[in-house]
Structure 1
Amino acid sequence: MSTMNERLKAESRERLKEEYQIYLRRQRGLTERTIYKYCTFADRFLNFTFKDAPDDLSKITGRDIVRFLQSLTGHVRPSPDKTMSTGMRSFFRFLFQSEKIELNLAVGIPSVANKYAHRIPYHLTPEQVEELLEAVQTSRKSNYAKRNYAMVLLMARLGLRSPEVIAIQLNDIDWRRGEILIRGKGNYYDKIPLLEDVGQAIADYIRDERKGTSRHVFVSSHSPYKPFKDAQILNSILKKALEKTNIPRPKQYTVSYILRHSLATNLVRKGATLEEISNTLRHRSRQTTLLYARQDINGLRTIAQSWPLRKGGAS
């Protein structure tokens, strides 16, 4: 291939990757690490399929995808790497939705079996959630019990992830309107209502315990009172609180997600719709919310779509 053709191919590939990155970032809300990984999968596929020839997306077939997946393992079956299959499916969904290919080849990429797929996330009952909150609030280490309680309450009442809690800054709280800005995954920002008990807990902490000049709301209890580098602090707080209760928990579990899963599960049992749960947890994909629908079959039937899907299964 001539130097001119090589340059044209490289420029075309780069434009495609830029469009794909924008799609993953804005529409899918993925992290930069995942975006990089998915773009790498796409690059590997295109290099395997077209080699030195120019990329011609219209010529891609399902057989090309199968050949590529088989080449990764040397087996007849597709790669057992779930991330690879998910990344490939994402790439072809993007190509179809952006009208770069006529058929939605994503629907032909097999899902990888996951023995945990049907397991409902570990969660607490409403009574257990209150027991855990009380354990945090009544900690003997009173010099930062109010801080810990406010952070855990944000997770229990609003379903915040632990990194979102420690990322909150003073300017993110609109006391007059009763709103709080959440700095979520994939650089997404969301404004959500600040519940009265949550706002009161944060105010109590700021008034009675908080020190230093950091713009972050939650800071270390020791000088120079810096914000936390990571969310491990919340894992530690929850583990210690759980030890003070009779609440059972799996031995190997990231405790920071217990309250988020509990909020969603308890909302389902109270009759909340999937849309309400999705909005509460700020899910970017309905597929994530469907995990909780297994506890509400009647509710799930109300959103069931007719089969087969039209237009190649576009989502």
Structure 2
Amino acid sequence: MGFQQYKEDFVEYLQIEKNASPYTVTFYQDDLDSFFLFLKSEGIKDLKEVNYVVIRIFLTKLYDKKLSRRSVSRKISSLRTFFRMLERNEVVESNPFVSVSLPKKDNPIPEFLYAEELEKLFTVSDLTTPLGQRNQALLELLYGTGMRVSECTNLKLHSLDFSIGTVLVRGKGNKERYIPFGSYAQEALERYMNDGREKLLKKGNGSKDHLFLNARGTELTPRGIRLILNEMVKNSSLTVHVHPHKLRHTFATHLLNEGADLRSVQELLGHENLSSTQIYTHVTKDHLRKIYLNSHPRA
């Protein structure tokens, strides 16, 4: 059996047995493709030949490309899962990636926006135009819920429940969760859905169910959202870089700074493990220290 067939079997395994999201499947396929290219460059035609020495050479080449520890860790995890499938199907006798340890993660403090910076972003959209209404609704929803950009682009009209102010989000592994949103987001969404979205819909033959549409009337993509945010930053004269995940970081940081508990924020973000949410405590500790130093008489 050739590498391509193993790849197809792996994709099927991820989709059916692991219930992996389309984005996870894409990343795993890319990781597998890069590994197969490496094997061909080394003259390795049989996956049974892959051992610890081969893997060390592969990892060395990854580090030579200046890949981050996080990227290398993901590739190791992808290939470990791939060889686990091969071992189960008796293609290989054992999983050679089991003995490979993941590189220690960098734990940079997540970047976030201050309230003053956000206020500038909220004032740049022309709310008399369909695109301006869409951009405002998009910004309000991303900041108001902390959802991932992929979750945002997959939203349908029926995902929103204005009667109780919640949105149903399908996250990683197709896991669903409800996230509440506030009055600012609701006002922006209703304006867009009742006016701007109807006008955009007439421009194309795209999905009539997707919440956010592009200028051609078809569903908005993650890349499209990034371009929109970049344009909004440019129009606001801000000097900071804003990406969708930065709004997610901002959502979590602001909640914790205002007294929300870590478990609640974990649930809102859709993190499977609390450790993923704990990166935000670095920011809040810094915030608390500043308050202490500025407020305590004997600080």
> Normalization by structure 2: what TM-score?
0.65
Q: Which residue of 2 aligns with 1:257?
A: 245
- Does residue 119 (structure 1) correspond to residue 113 (structure 2)? The answer is no
Q: Which residue of 2 aligns with 1:130?
A: 119
Which residue, 26, 29, 37 being the options, matches 1:36? 29
- Does residue 143 (structure 1) correspond to residue 123 (structure 2)? The answer is no
Q: Which residue of 2 aligns with 1:235?
A: 226
Q: Look up the equivalent residue of 2:148 and give its one-letter code.
A: R
Choose 253-262 or 23-32, whichever is displaced more: 23-32
Which structure 2 residue ranges, 5 or more long, are not aligned? 203-207, 287-299
Cα distance in 1 for residues equivalent to 2:80 and 2:214? 46
- Does residue 219 (structure 1) correspond to residue 210 (structure 2)? The answer is no
Cα distance in 2 for residues equivalent to 1:23 and 1:265? 36
Cα distance in 2 for residues equivalent to 1:42 and 1:275? 38
Q: Summarize the Cα distance change of 1:209–1:17 in structure 2 as closer, same or farther, 3 Å threshold.
A: closer
Q: Which residue of 1 aligns with 2:293?
A: none
What whole-Å deviation, never above 9, does each CA across 1:169-221 have from its counterpart, x for those lacking one? 222223445432324456x2524234241223211222233323632233346
Aligned-pair CA distance for 1:280: 1.8
Q: Look up the equivalent residue of 1:280 and give its one-letter code.
A: L
Q: Summarize the Cα distance change of 1:146–1:66 in structure 2 as closer, same or farther, 3 Å threshold.
A: same
Cα distance in 2 for residues equivalent to 1:280 and 1:148? 23
Q: Summarize the Cα distance change of 1:106–1:217 in structure 2 as closer, same or farther, 3 Å threshold.
A: same
Q: Look up the equivalent residue of 2:128 and give its one-letter code.
A: S
Q: Summarize the Cα distance change of 1:204–1:189 in structure 2 as closer, same or farther, 3 Å threshold.
A: farther
SS at match of 1:31: helix
- Does residue 109 (structure 1) correspond to residue 92 (structure 2)? The answer is no
Is the 1:79–1:85 contact (alpha carbons within 8 Å) kept by the matching residues of 2? no
Tell me the number of residue pairs that the alignment of Structure 1 and Structure 2 aligns.
270
Which residue, 146, 149, 152 being the options, matches 1:159? 146
Aligned residues: CA RMSD: 4.7
Identical counterparts, % of pairs: 22
Cα distance in 1 for residues equivalent to 2:266 and 2:55? 35
Q: Summarize the Cα distance change of 1:210–1:286 in structure 2 as closer, same or farther, 3 Å threshold.
A: same
Cα distance in 1 for residues equivalent to 2:224 and 2:15? 33
Q: Which residue of 2 aligns with 1:302?
A: none
Aligned-pair CA distance for 1:23: 8.8
Q: Look up the equivalent residue of 1:195 and give its one-letter code.
A: F
What whole-Å deviation, never above 9, does each CA across 1:59-100 have from its counterpart, x for those lacking one? x9xxx424422266489x999654444322454478789x97
Is the 1:179–1:191 contact (alpha carbons within 8 Å) kept by the matching residues of 2? no
Q: Which residue of 1 aligns with 2:19?
A: 26
Q: Look up the equivalent residue of 1:162 and give its one-letter code.
A: V
Q: Look up the equivalent residue of 1:126 and give its one-letter code.
A: A
Is the 2:127–2:133 contact (alpha carbons within 8 Å) kept by the matching residues of 1? no
